[in-house]
Amino acid sequence: MTVGYNLYLNVSDGSKFYPDYLTHLVAEQTNALLNGLGYESNIMPHPNESSVKIIINGTYVARVIEGCNAVSIIILFLSFIVAFASKFKTTLIYCFAGSIIIYAFNLIRIVILSIGLYHYPWRREILHTVIFPMLIYGTVFLLWMVWVNRFSKNIKTNA
């Protein structure tokens, strides 16, 4: 999956969807959610790097880079689920549902992080490098634990 994703990144045409389609989509959806919450939000391509700038009420607060689109986290999640696979249908449904949960949670994470950076820019380091990564990886960990304890065929039996 990682090789396939890297191939996608290397061949993606950044002219229409900058820097790549999935990162651009996350930026667009973040913008829509911010506007829906009453913030005057805009996005624009970053002139000096492969990212999309998030601007709230005229203030540049964050950038969405390729690592923000949750694909790498979803690949990590899927790899674990497949390693402890159950019945094909159950595994497929859990992979699909878990990927949607991770993607949606990541989107909400970026929105809350952007709002936090707008209101509390001096907290940038702790918000971006501690709290929000802990939340997204915590979510993945909880999904893994549910999988192993409820669905995996590798469950230990009490003997």
* pLDDT tens track for 59-68: 999 999 888 8
Q: Is 157 within a domain?
A: no
Q: 156 in a domain, yes or no?
A: no
Q: Is residue 159 part of a domain?
A: no
* Domain ranges, residue 107: 2-151
What pTM does this model have?
0.85
Task: Note the pLDDT tens digit of each residue in 107-126.
Answer: 999 999 999 999 998 988 88
> In this predicted model, what pLDDT tens digit does every residue of 149-159 receive, in sequence order?
887 765 555 44
d(C-alpha 28, C-alpha 90), whole Å = 32
Is residue 8 one of the residues assigned to a domain? Answer: yes
To 10 degrees, the CA torsion angle through 29, 30, 35, 40? -130
Number of domains making up the chain: 1
In a domain, 158, yes or no: no
